[in-house]
């Protein structure tokens, strides 16, 4: 009987330090390496945080302000104990100053918990004590965010605070009368429109629970199952390891919500195998980065920003993922086509079938692990996202216990609880810090002013406004986590798109898409640089390759902003089919134009036809679609005739010999 490995991991012998690579490219992974009693204290704190959120998800959350205050309390404690002030700090101990900062975090959040009623009664009239505690809270939020996600977002928050205080000195439309320090601190600390606003509220409920859900899925072995299944299904095909990387990274990225973490963890297995079959190191790293980045826009889980989008827009989360599914699949179609055409152009084959696990056996061995992922969508149809995540975690625990090879013990559950809380720190810190920005925007009315300026600058036309918003999203996305970037632009740029007639959900998804794509957009393409670190390639060249692979992602948001049929908004089934078919053809044409290959290397006129077809097919107009289809048919016909001529020439040459 033919012997095959039961897992792609069985034949994998290259060792890659995932933690070291993560720490190099992602600020949230630069944590202290604690041992002994210190490690146990921090681990217990993380487990208690997870248990608190599990309890409130199952049996009812606290009052809004109290729930968010407890959430921020844990973030302060774990953030200051786990994250050193700089990369040069000692990583195996916690200095006294960090214990004091953690204690200060407990103090300022407990002040809200124990004085909530009196704070509500004197809302808008802070006492000197309120002012002191509010100022300390703002400073603590800025510092814990700087440590856990980097300095960019805290710097922007400081700029907004300065804008609120000194707006009277700013000339023109952006100027305002200015606000006192007491008014600013009251807005940021004593209301639910600042630090304790919607972003932190979502983090304290939906986001935390779905991060914890991902940790429980991970400990049950679903990540290993995804990789094995992807290689079993596609590893033997042309350019197989790259196609398997796209599939596995899409699955994993939807759960992890981090482009960089997904690139490193999945890429540790996929990148060496891509290099083994002949892919250049730069291209291998780029494939993994482009595929991993798309996970944040892929339902059913997506990233934390999708939950915040639901709160900002008052659109049910289930409707958001329903609208996001077709654009996400189009993005992956684009990446997959790029990979396939590159493999065809270079004649790269897959991994021999005998070196891969069997697809049927792999699926039967781990299909039960998919049950929580499928049922979470069903739960979302009936329950709130918070309740759906809670039930899905319980179901994941039950399902993994059904079979011996996936059964987990108490230690694994402890590790999942710890891992979920630690992963949530960076997201929660970003949400609290972004709350400062949202609070200032709300206080000053900057959002409406900025939207009017953007529309005015674009001459009141939609396409230039979309371009300006795209550039703003990418620039902010280069320095900020996706969640924080989305929050900033949702309050400032999205209103401009809505003002010009773009549906609310399309405007917010447009911003989200380009913030995500920033992770593979040089010069600050962190996911691509992480892929280069794993592959041993050149960072900037890997970034350019990743941008090329993900380039279809630059077309898709424009398609659904101008043609909401792709988001399944107010469409008939026929309209939806036409829109999806047109977009798919456009993505294939675009990939062929970018790669310069379809059935064979394209001639200049064929490449021009492919590019023209792609551009025509993205315009929501039946006449443009017909022109695009005609150009595509012309290019394909040229390729078919060219391939036939090449075959005849080869046959005649063989006869002559």
Q: What is the pLDDT of residues 535-581, one digit of tens each?
A: 888 888 898 989 988 888 888 898 888 878 888 888 888 888 888 88
Tell me the CA distances in angstroms from 326 to 169, 257, 332, 526, 576, one per residue in order: 47, 19, 10, 26, 10
Q: Quickly count: other Cβ atoms within 10 Å of residue 391's Cβ.
A: 20
Give the mean pLDDT of 639-656. 77
Q: How confident is the model at residue 14 (pLDDT cuts 50, 70, 90)?
A: low
CA distance 299 to 320: 9
411 pLDDT more than 60: yes
Mean of the per-residue pLDDT values of the chain: 86
Q: What is the mean pLDDT of residues 184-193?
A: 91
Give the contacts of 139 (CB within 8 A, at least 6 positions apart).
none
Which residue shows structure tokens 């991970």?
Answer: 218
Within 8 A by CB and 6+ apart from 458, the residues are 464, 465, 467, 468
pLDDT in tens, 39-86: 999 999 999 999 999 999 999 889 999 999 999 999 999 999 999 998
pLDDT for 594 beyond 70: yes
What pLDDT does 25 receive? 58
- pLDDT bin (cut points 50, 70, 90) of residue 118 is confident
Domain range annotation of the chain: 1-563, 571-657
Q: Name which of 475-479, 569-573, 583-587 the model is least confident about.
A: 475-479
Confidence class for position 435, pLDDT limits 50, 70, 90:
very high
1 pLDDT band, cuts 50/70/90, is very low
Give the confidence band of 448 by pLDDT, cuts at 50, 70, 90: confident
Cα–Cα distance for residue pair 33/211, rounded to 1 Å: 22
Cα(214)–Cα(220) distance, integer angstroms: 10
DSSP codes joined into one string, 551-595: THHHHHHHHHHH-GGGGT-S--HHHHHHHHHHHHHHHHHHHHHHH
Long-range contacts of 11-16 (CB under 8 A, 24+ apart): 11/355, 12/269, 12/272, 12/273, 14/272, 16/268, 16/272, 16/534
pTM equals 0.86
pLDDT of residue 590: 92
Q: Tens digit of pLDDT for each residue in 256-290? A: 667 777 788 788 878 888 888 788 888 889 998 89
- Give the pLDDT band of residue 95 (cuts 50, 70, 90): very high
**SS3 per residue for 393-462:** HHHHHHHHCCCHHHCCCHHHHHHHHHHHHHHHHHHHHHHHHHHHHHHHHHHHCHHHHHHHHHHHHCCCCH
* pLDDT for 24: 56
Q: How far is CA 217 from the centre of its chain?
A: 18
* Residue % of the chain over a pLDDT of 70: 94
Contacts 24+ apart (CB under 8 A), 179-183: 179/443, 179/444, 181/131, 182/126, 182/131, 183/443
CA atoms within 13 A on the CB side of 588: 15
For residue 198, pLDDT beyond 80: yes
**How would you classify residue 191: left for phi > 0, otherwise alpha for psi between -120 and 50, otherwise beta?**
beta
Confidence class for position 627, pLDDT limits 50, 70, 90:
very high
pLDDT tens readout for residues 348-405: 878 888 778 888 888 888 888 888 888 888 888 888 888 988 999 999 999 999 888 8
Phi, psi of 597 (to 5 degrees): -155, 140
DSSP state of 602: P
Of residues 136 and 237, more confidently modeled: 136
Place of tokens 């992480």: 530
Residue pair 345/408 in contact by the 8 Å Cβ criterion: no
- Given a cut of 90, whether residue 91 has pLDDT beyond it is no
């Amino acid at each position: 009987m033919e012997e095959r490995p039961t897992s792609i991991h069985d034949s994998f012998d290259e060792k890659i330090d995932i933690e070291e690579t993560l720490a190099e490219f992602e600020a949230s992974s630069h944590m202290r390496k604690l041992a002994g009693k210190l490690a146990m204290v921090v681990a217990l704190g993380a487990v208690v945080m997870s248990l608190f959120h599990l309890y409130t998800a199952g049996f009812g959350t606290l009052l809004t302000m109290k729930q968010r205050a407890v959430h921020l309390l844990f973030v302060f404690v774990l953030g200051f104990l786990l994250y050193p002030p700089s990369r040069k700090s000692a990583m195996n101990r916690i200095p006294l100053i960090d214990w004091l900062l953690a204690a200060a975090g407990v103090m300022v959040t407990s002040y809200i918990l124990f004085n909530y009623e009196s704070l509500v009664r004197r809302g808008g009239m802070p006492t000197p004590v309120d002012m002191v505690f509010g100022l300390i809270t703002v400073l603590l939020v800025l510092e814990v965010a700087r440590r856990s996600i980097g300095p960019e977002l805290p710097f922007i928050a400081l700029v907004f605070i300065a804008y609120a205080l000194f707006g009277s000195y700013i000339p023109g439309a952006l100027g305002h009368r200015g606000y006192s320090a007491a008014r600013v601190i009251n807005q940021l600390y004593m209301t639910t429109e600042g630090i304790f606003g919607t972003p932190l509220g979502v983090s304290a409920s939906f986001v935390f629970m779905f991060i914890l859900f991902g940790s429980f899925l991970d400990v049950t072995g679903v990540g290993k199952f995804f990789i094995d299944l992807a290689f079993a299904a596609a590893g033997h095909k042309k350019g197989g390891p790259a196609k398997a990387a796209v599939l596995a990274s899409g699955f994993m990225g939807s759960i992890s919500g981090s482009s960089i973490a997904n690139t490193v963890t999945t890429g540790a297995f996929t990148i060496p195998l891509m290099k083994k079959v002949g892919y250049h190191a730069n291209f291998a790293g780029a494939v993994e980065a482009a595929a991993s980045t798309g996970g944040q826009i892929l339902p059913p889980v997506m990233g934390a920003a999708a939950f915040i989008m639901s709160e900002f827009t008052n659109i049910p989360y289930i409707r958001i993922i329903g609208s996001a599914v077709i654009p996400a699949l189009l993005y992956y179609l684009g990446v997959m086509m790029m990979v396939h055409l590159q493999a065809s152009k270079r004649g790269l084959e897959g991994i021999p079938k005998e070196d891969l696990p069997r697809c049927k056996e792999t699926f039967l061995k781990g299909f039960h692990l998919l049950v929580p992922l499928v049922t979470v969508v069903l739960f979302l149809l009936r329950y709130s996202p918070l309740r759906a995540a809670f039930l899905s975690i319980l179901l994941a625990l039950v399902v993994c216990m059904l079979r011996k090879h996936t059964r987990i013990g108490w230690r694994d559950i402890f590790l999942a609880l710890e891992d979920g809380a630690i992963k949530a720190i960076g997201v929660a810190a970003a949400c609290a810090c972004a709350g400062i920005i949202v609070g200032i925007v709300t206080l000053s009315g900057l959002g409406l002013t900025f939207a009017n300026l953007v529309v005015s600058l674009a001459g009141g036309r939609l396409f230039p406004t979309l371009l300006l918003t795209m550039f703003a999203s990418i620039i902010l996305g280069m320095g900020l986590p996706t969640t924080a970037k989305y929050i900033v632009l949702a309050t400032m740029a999205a209103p401009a798109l809505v003002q010009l007639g773009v549906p609310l959900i399309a405007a917010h998804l447009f911003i989200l898409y380009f913030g995500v794509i920033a992770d593979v957009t040089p010069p600050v393409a962190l996911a691509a640089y992480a892929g280069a670190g794993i592959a041993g390639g050149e960072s900037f060249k890997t970034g350019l390759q990743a941008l090329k692979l993900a380039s279809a992602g630059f077309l898709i948001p424009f398609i659904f902003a101008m043609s909401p049929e792709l988001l399944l908004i107010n469409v008939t089934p026929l309209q939806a089919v036409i829109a999806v078919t047109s977009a798919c053809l456009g993505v294939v044409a675009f990939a062929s134009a970018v790669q310069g290959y379809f059935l064979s290397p394209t001639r200049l006129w064929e490449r021009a036809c492919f590019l023209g077809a792609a551009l025509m097919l993205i315009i929501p107009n039946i006449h443009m679609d017909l022109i695009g289809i005609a150009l595509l048919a012309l290019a394909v016909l040229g390729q078919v005739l060219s391939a036939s001529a090449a075959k005849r020439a080869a046959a005649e040459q063989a006869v002559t010999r």
